């Protein structure tokens, strides 16, 4: 049944995307070129609506057997409505934040999707207590926006989301979580159908409609797959979403260093930096796909590692991330502490010789 539904969702997305493109032109959901963006002509956005309708077809066809299924769907309606309005009218950031928070509250309070505790690797539990609800809401809202932040190149956010969903589905298969397998794979199939029109050169953009929905569903599915597990397992969804989380984290650091507002847009995100050092549009997207795939592979290895092996792996990954950040100037051209340290050692060694 699930395999048939995946094919249906994939084909539905392919058939719906051209229709959504025409609708975007009619309602004025257009993305105009500007200094911060890389495209040079007016493009239809709101493409995520095709993904969402395909997802709903699949989600309503399955037998969920879970109390949080319909709260998740209702939360997604709020997210989609917010995205559509933003794609047409360019909503204020505060309005979008409030809508995202309401959707997260519905999932957390009504649906009962909460991270209440994690099992510590050396014994005992870390109870979140009254913080379990705000922590879970913060995760959902944070990841929802993280996917939106990387939506800067043709096929980038949709492709990275596909890789994250593929990894989450794979991990859910390993853990035997049927609900996460079903929903994640349905969204994956729907997004792959849309990606045929969204990869460079794109015929339609995801828009906030798609980016916010994908971020929302990925955030919720990653929580359901790893809630109330060990500290080591709790890190897995963070690793899976390594690209958007890293880009968001260093965007915050960059703005703090440069004394800019945290919500201020700029042209210094990961994809901008790769373009600035000479990679083409297509090459940049493929490089970030490779990074996302690397994080997905690390997550799988991490899930099978012992405690000390997992710790060593995460330290190594963090070091690699830091070196890439310094090399491409993600925080700033002058932010190179480790590279400067390595150069100082080389200089001292060469001088002593």
Long-range CB pairs of 97-100 (<8 Å, 24+ gap) are 97/141, 100/140, 100/141, 100/144, 100/145, 100/212, 100/216
Which residue bears the tokens 């990074």? 291
DSSP 328-345: HTSS-TT--HHHHHHHHH
- pTM of the entire predicted model: 0.89
Which residues does 219 contact at the CB level (< 8 Å), separation at least 6? Answer: 139, 140, 142, 143, 144
Which residue bears the tokens 């929302």? 216
Per-residue model confidence as pLDDT tens digits over 253-311:
888 877 777 666 677 788 889 988 899 999 999 999 999 999 999 988 887 877 788 88
Per-residue model confidence as pLDDT tens digits over 25-77:
999 999 887 766 665 688 999 999 999 999 999 999 887 778 899 999 999 99
- Helices 207-226 and 48-61: angle between axes, nearest 10 degrees: 40
Q: Is the peptide bond before 287 cis (omega within 30 degrees of 0)?
A: no
Per the CB < 8 A criterion, the answer to whether 189 and 10 are in contact is yes
Per-residue model confidence as pLDDT tens digits over 115-163:
766 665 555 667 777 888 998 899 899 999 989 888 888 999 999 999 9
Per the CB < 8 A criterion, the answer to whether 71 and 140 are in contact is no
């Amino acid at each position: 049944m699930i395999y048939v539904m995946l094919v249906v969702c994939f084909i539905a997305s392919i058939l719906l995307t051209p229709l959504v493109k025409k609708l975007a032109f009619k309602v004025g959901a257009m993305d105009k070129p500007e200094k911060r963006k890389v495209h040079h002509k007016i493009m239809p956005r709101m493409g995520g609506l095709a993904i969402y309708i395909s997802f709903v077809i699949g989600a309503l066809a399955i037998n969920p057997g879970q109390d949080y299924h319909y709260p998740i769907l209702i939360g997604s309606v709020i997210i989609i409505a917010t995205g559509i309005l933003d794609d047409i009218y360019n909503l204020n950031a505060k309005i979008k934040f409030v809508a995202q928070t309401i959707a997260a509250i519905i999932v957390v309070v009504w649906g009962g999707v909460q991270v209440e505790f994690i099992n510590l690797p050396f014994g005992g539990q870390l109870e979140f207590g009254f913080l379990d609800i705000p922590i879970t809401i913060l995760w959902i809202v944070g990841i929802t926006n993280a996917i939106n932040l990387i939506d800067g190149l043709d096929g980038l956010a949709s492709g990275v989301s596909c890789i994250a969903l593929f990894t989450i589905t794979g991990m859910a298969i390993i853990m035997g979580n049927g609900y996460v397998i079903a929903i994640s794979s349905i969204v994956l199939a729907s997004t792959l159908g849309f990606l045929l029109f969204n990869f460079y050169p794109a015929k339609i953009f995801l828009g906030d409609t798609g980016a916010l929905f994908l971020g929302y569903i990925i955030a919720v599915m990653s929580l359901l797959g790893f809630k109330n597990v060990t500290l080591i397992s709790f890190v897995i969804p963070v690793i899976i979403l390594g690209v958007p989380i890293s880009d968001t984290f260093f965007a915050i650091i960059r703005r703090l260093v440069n004394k800019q507002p945290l919500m201020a847009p700029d042209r210094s995100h990961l994809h901008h930096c790769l373009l600035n050092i000479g990679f083409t549009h297509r090459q940049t997207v493929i490089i970030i796909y490779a990074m996302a795939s690397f994080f997905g592979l690390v997550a799988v290895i991490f899930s099978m590692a012992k405690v000390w092996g997992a710790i060593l792996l995460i330290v190594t990954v963090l070091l690699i991330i830091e070196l890439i950040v310094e090399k491409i100037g993600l925080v700033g051209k002058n932010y190179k502490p480790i590279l400067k340290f390595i150069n100082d050692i080389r200089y001292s060694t060469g001088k002593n010789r």
